[in-house]
Amino acid sequence: MLILGIETSCDDTSAAVVDGDFAIRSNVVASQEDHAAFGGVVPELASRAHTRLIVPVVRMALERAGVTLADLDGVAVTYGPGLLGSLLVGVTFAKAMAYGAGLALVGVNHLEGHLWSGLQVSPSLLSTPFLALIVSGGHSELVLVRAFGDYVHLGGTQDDAAGEAFDKVAKLLGLGYPGGPAVERLASEAGNGAVSGADGNRLKFPVAVMAEPYDLSFSGLKTAVRYHLEKHPPRGAGERAVVAHAFQEAVVEALVGRTLSALDRHPVEHVVVCGGVARNGRLRHRMAEALADRGVALTVPPGDLCTDNAAMIGFVGSLLLRRGRRAPLDLGAAPTLAEVGWDS
């Protein structure tokens, strides 16, 4: 079985060809640079860029895989959640391709794609329940995966996603976009013994206390960083690194803490951390330490499968097609969690 995956939920235009054993024949990702000047994704610019890029990206994915449309069994496309204009570009293109080539069409939940993005390195995930932490620019969610297609959305962020907070703090620190890698690089310069330049004490930002054990909040943390910078303007790169380090530690503490809380109530033997923020080395290290203490296995997809990509959409599309699932040609875009049925 060969599936063409298409992903356009935010600002990455991606197409991939995967087979039924989750081997990736090609995985092309065109990252848009139009948004760097704004410090975040501008929806209108994103959808226009997808319109320009989708044809050459799909063509390149087919060429790199050495296949034609006639070799494919189906087209899997992200239909939500995400930016409405961006989603519509991918969905409309996939429907036209499926209809014109006589291929099966499959609509894929973007978050479900992230859940199964570790299949290439851990195919055994299909045979065991696991807990998933999805952390990206748009989502920070905890999901109990009982089996493929059987999910319990335990909770998530009530305001900013973790990746969004990284981007906003990066902007406060005068760093580039995307903010996650930039903040991580700067934080690494401070080290674990980071101290503030103001009073010599170790700088520490608060982690939000939430009423529900699985919920997260990063808006207050971002505000705390802003107030600190206003009160103690950094006098050099070293003091900026201290702030970046303290911010990153607070984010990691929140994510690891909520994951352990979920394990307390839903004991499983495997945790998957996925999404763009899963590339963060400090998060990987702390999560591995915490789970090792409990004897729980950890899977983190390779870096190129953490960020938005079409291979993970192809993985889920392959599994859906095996189960006889097809999408109608009037498939629409579903921009919110509620519209894809993951709001509870």
pLDDT for the residue numbered 192: 53
The token duo for 67 is 């296949």
Domain ranges of the chain: 2-117+304-340, 128-299
Which residue bears the tokens 């991918």?
A: 90
| pLDDT at 90 (0 to 100) | 98
Helix and strand numbers, DSSP H then E, in the chain: 10, 10
- 12-44 per-residue burial string, b: 16 or more CB within 10 A, e: under 16: bbbbbbbeeebebbbbbbbebeebeeebebbee
Cα separation, 296 vs 294, whole angstroms: 5
- Asked whether this chain's domains 2-117+304-340 and 128-299 adopt the same fold, the reply is yes
Q: Can you identify the CATH homologous superfamily of domain 2-117+304-340? A: ATPase, nucleotide binding domain (3.30.420.40)
200's torsion region: left (phi>0), alpha (psi -120 to 50) or beta? Answer: left
The DSSP bridge partners found for residue 298 are 271
What's at 334, amino acid-wise? A
Strand ranges in 237-280 using DSSP code E only, listed in sequence order: 270-274
Q: What is the pLDDT along the chain (344 residues), one digit of tens a residue?
A: 999 999 999 889 999 999 988 999 999 999 766 656 556 678 788 899 999 999 999 999 999 999 999 999 999 999 999 999 999 999 999 999 999 999 999 999 999 999 999 998 888 899 999 999 999 988 899 999 999 999 999 999 999 999 999 999 999 999 988 899 999 999 999 865 555 555 556 899 998 878 788 899 999 999 999 999 999 999 888 999 999 999 999 999 999 999 999 999 999 999 999 999 999 999 999 999 999 999 999 999 999 999 999 999 999 999 999 999 999 999 999 998 888 877 55
Tell the CATH topology of 128-299: Nucleotidyltransferase; domain 5 (3.30.420)
Starting at the edge strand found earlier in the chain, the sheet holding 74-80 runs 24-31, 12-19, 2-7, 74-80, 104-109
Residue 213: predicted pLDDT: 82
- pLDDT at residue 177, rounded to an integer: 81
Q: Are the C-beta atoms of 74 and 317 separated by less than 8 Å?
A: yes
First to last CA, the chain: 33
* Rounded-to-integer distance, Cα 218 and Cα 187, Å: 18
